[in-house]
Amino acid sequence: MSYDSNNIFARILRQEIPCKKIHENNFGLAFHDINPKAPIHALVIPRGAYTSSLDFHEKASTEEITGFYRFVSDVVRLLDLPEKGYRLLSNHGTAAGQEVPHYHVHIFGGKPLGPMLKES
Ligand code: AMP
């Protein structure tokens, strides 16, 4: 999958459209999901142009990877989640239901989160 520079998160990074920002640094931007699935539902995105976790893990520099995941943990602390518990999730591709083709990590918290996957 090639990177679409007009995807919605690329446009948020370029400040062409607004977001409810939680935190940012040189490696990433965190903001509240527009359609939250839990009382706390944050999205964390790297600044670089990566389509998904696979793309990021294979192509990003060691500095970007370390910086990004440390930033994810900074956001978890800002949201006061370490003691309460939280879930990180990232979708890749159609079967997982990825909607936005810019790598992002979901952070869920604020209530008991139930089973990891919906029972079928
Ligand atoms: P995914 O299905 O993993 O690609 O998740 C994409 C997420 O982005 C969904 O939870 C959407 O609700 C969220 N989303 C889409 N557009 C926006 C936006 N403009 N601001 C914040 N969250 C968004």
Q: Is the pLDDT of residue 118 over 90?
A: no
Residue 46 phi, psi (nearest 5): -75, 160
Structure confidence by residue, pLDDT tens digits, 77-88: 999 999 999 999
Q: Is the pLDDT of residue 120 over 90?
A: no
Active site residue 102: no
- Ligand 1 geometric centre to CA of 8 (Å): 8
Which residues in 7-111 belong to E strands, given as ranges? 21-24, 28-32, 40-46, 86-89, 105-109
Q: Which domains does the chain have, with CATH numbers?
A: 8-109 (3.30.428.10)
User: How many CB atoms within 10 Å of residue 92?
Assistant: 15
**Closest alpha carbon to 14 in 5, 23, 22:** 5
Structure confidence by residue, pLDDT tens digits, 94-111: 999 999 999 999 999 999
88 lines ligand 1 (CB under 6 A): no
For residue 17, which atom of ligand 1 is closest to its CA?
19
For residue 99, which atom of ligand 1 is closest to its CA?
4
* Protein residue whose Cα sits closest to atom 13 of ligand 1: 33
- What are the residues whose beta carbons fall under 8 Å from the beta carbon of 104, sequence distance 6 or more? 9, 43, 44, 45, 90
Report helix, strand or coil for 74.
helix
Which residues in 5-83 belong to E strands, given as ranges? 21-24, 28-32, 40-46
Q: What is the pTM of this model?
A: 0.97
CB environment 11-48: b (16+ within 10 A), e (fewer): ebbeeeeebeebbbeebbbbbebeeeebebbbbbbbbb
Q: How confident is the model at residue 115 (pLDDT cuts 50, 70, 90)?
A: very high
Structure confidence by residue, pLDDT tens digits, 17-68: 999 999 999 999 999 999 999 999 999 999 999 999 999 999 999 999 999 9
Q: Is the pLDDT of residue 15 over 90?
A: yes
